[in-house]
């Protein structure tokens, strides 16, 4: 039911009208949220939509200009790292660089070996349980998010706080004290967020989410400003909460130089309530916004570029063949023509 509802909500993303020049635009609101996260909406001309909420399956329709390639930079588990710092859990913070945290949590939640964790089920549930627990979401909402009985949601949440006791004992305790006393949360970037209204669950959830989300947003926005000023080849396309999408000229030397420079300009040390750390930046390159190839080694850009080109071509060919099959079936006059895609 949840999948059907999501698909119904996503139908609008397949029916947008393009601007006369073949582009789709959005208006970025740099003060769109109280945390400093950007928001987006229709452009000032009335075209386009909220591109930040573009579903993954529709991102394949977005392509760079001819002669260019997309680079997407994503902050690696930024909010979770910030939560670890707020919880004063230094061991957890160090583990991010060596252990997949969602896999570890899933293994502990379901009493599995890490190698037995299914990435599409156990890991996704572990990720959602962690997120819900960090931001003090109730077990009823967790039950809906995960799609499990209420009893199981209670167990998962209780077990998570056994795995990460400092989240509740240190960070949540601090947040509740601050909200009761001052109704104010201040981040290491000096953003001050004030919370009004009755002391109900929603206010607590908003206040708890405020510092990790705001800190992550400020970290990314500061990096974007440095990148924009210092990399002339960088052409900004979109910012999506923890990631930046851009296009650059499609040649190996330029891609290599831009990725290396973006990484250096982004990975700056921050101090979150006395805990110093950096948030790593991860990169993908591709010829559409969906079929990107992860950059694991800066010295292998040429290989990743060819892999991205191959994925892009294969996807386009599959779409072309599907269209031919559909047309042939509808006409019912001749057999399917063979593909011209090599």
Distance CA 255, CA 305 (A): 9
Q: What are the tens digits of pLDDT across the range 120-166?
A: 999 999 999 999 999 999 999 999 999 999 999 999 999 999 999 99
> For residues 320 and 35, which has the higher predicted lDDT (pLDDT)?
35
Q: What are the tens digits of pLDDT across the range 162-212?
A: 999 999 999 999 999 999 999 999 999 999 999 988 888 889 999 999 999
Model pLDDT, residue 332 = 56
- Residue 6: enclosing H or E segment and its boundaries? helix 2-10
pTM across the whole model: 0.88
CATH of segment(s) 2-77+218-316: 3.30.70.370
Model pLDDT, residue 339 = 45
pLDDT at 340 over 50: no
Average pLDDT estimate for 300-328: 83
Average pLDDT estimate for 292-313: 97
pLDDT at 213 over 90: yes
Please, which pLDDT band fits residue 14 given cuts at 50, 70 and 90? low
| CA dist 72 → 216, 284, 342 (Å) | 17, 5, 28
Average pLDDT estimate for 219-233: 98
In percent, the amount of the chain with pLDDT more than 90 equals 73
Distance CA 184, CA 206 (A): 12
Q: What are the structure tokens assigned to 73, written together?
A: 């930079």
Query: Which fold is adopted by the domain 79-201?
Result: DNA polymerase; domain 1 (1.10.150)
Adjacent-strand bridge partners of 243? 74, 240
Model pLDDT, residue 117 = 96
Q: How high is the mean pLDDT of the chain?
A: 90
Q: In CATH terms, are 2-77+218-316 and 79-201 the same topology?
A: no
Q: Where are the domains of the chain?
A: 2-77+218-316, 79-201
Distance CA 171, CA 293 (A): 36
Adjacent-strand bridge partners of 293? 285
Average pLDDT estimate for 265-277: 98
Q: What are the tens digits of pLDDT across the range 99-109?
A: 999 999 999 99
Average pLDDT estimate for 235-245: 95
Going by their DSSP bridges, the two strands 243-249 and 68-75 should be labelled as: antiparallel
Model pLDDT, residue 260 = 98
Going by their DSSP bridges, the two strands 68-75 and 281-286 should be labelled as: antiparallel
In percent, the amount of the chain with pLDDT more than 70 equals 89
- Among 241, 278, 222, 274, smallest CA distance to 93 is for 278
């Amino acid at each position: 039911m949840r999948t059907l509802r999501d698909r119904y909500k996503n139908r609008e993303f397949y029916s947008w009208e393009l601007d006369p020049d073949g582009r789709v635009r959005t208006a970025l609101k740099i003060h769109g949220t109280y945390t400093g996260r950007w928001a987006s909406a229709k452009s000032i001309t009335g075209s386009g939509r909220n591109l930040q909420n573009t579903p993954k399956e529709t991102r394949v329709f977005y392509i760079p200009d001819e002669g260019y390639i997309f680079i997407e930079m994503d902050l690696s588990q930024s909010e979770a790292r910030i939560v670890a710092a707020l919880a004063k859990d230094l061991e957890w913070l160090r583990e991010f660089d060596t252990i997949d945290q969602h896999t570890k949590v899933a293994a502990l939640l379901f009493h599995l070996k890490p190698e037995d964790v299914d990435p599409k089920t156990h890991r996704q549930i572990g990720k959602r349980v962690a997120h819900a627990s960090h931001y003090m979401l109730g077990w009823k909402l967790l039950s809906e998010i995960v799609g499990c009985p209420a009893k199981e949601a209670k167990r998962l949440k209780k077990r998570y706080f056994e795995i990460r006791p400092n989240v509740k004992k240190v960070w949540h305790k601090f947040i509740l004290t601050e909200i009761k006393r001052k109704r104010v949360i201040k981040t290491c970037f000096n953003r001050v967020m004030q919370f009004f209204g009755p002391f109900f669950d929603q206010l607590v959830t908003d206040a708890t989410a405020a510092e990790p989300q705001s800190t992550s947003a400020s970290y990314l926005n500061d990096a974007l400003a440095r990148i924009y000023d210092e990399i002339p080849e960088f052409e900004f396309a979109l910012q999506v909460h923890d990631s930046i999408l851009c296009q650059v000229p499609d040649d190996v030397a330029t891609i290599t130089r831009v990725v290396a420079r973006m990484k250096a300009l982004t990975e700056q040390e921050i101090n979150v309530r006395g805990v110093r750390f950096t948030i790593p930046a991860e990169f993908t390159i591709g010829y559409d916004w969906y079929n990107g190839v992860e950059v694991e080694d800066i010295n292998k850009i040429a290989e990743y570029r060819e892999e991205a080109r191959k994925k892009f071509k294969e996807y386009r060919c599959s779409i072309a063949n599907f269209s031919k099959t559909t047309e042939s079936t509808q006409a019912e006059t001749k057999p399917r023509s063979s593909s011209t895609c090599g």
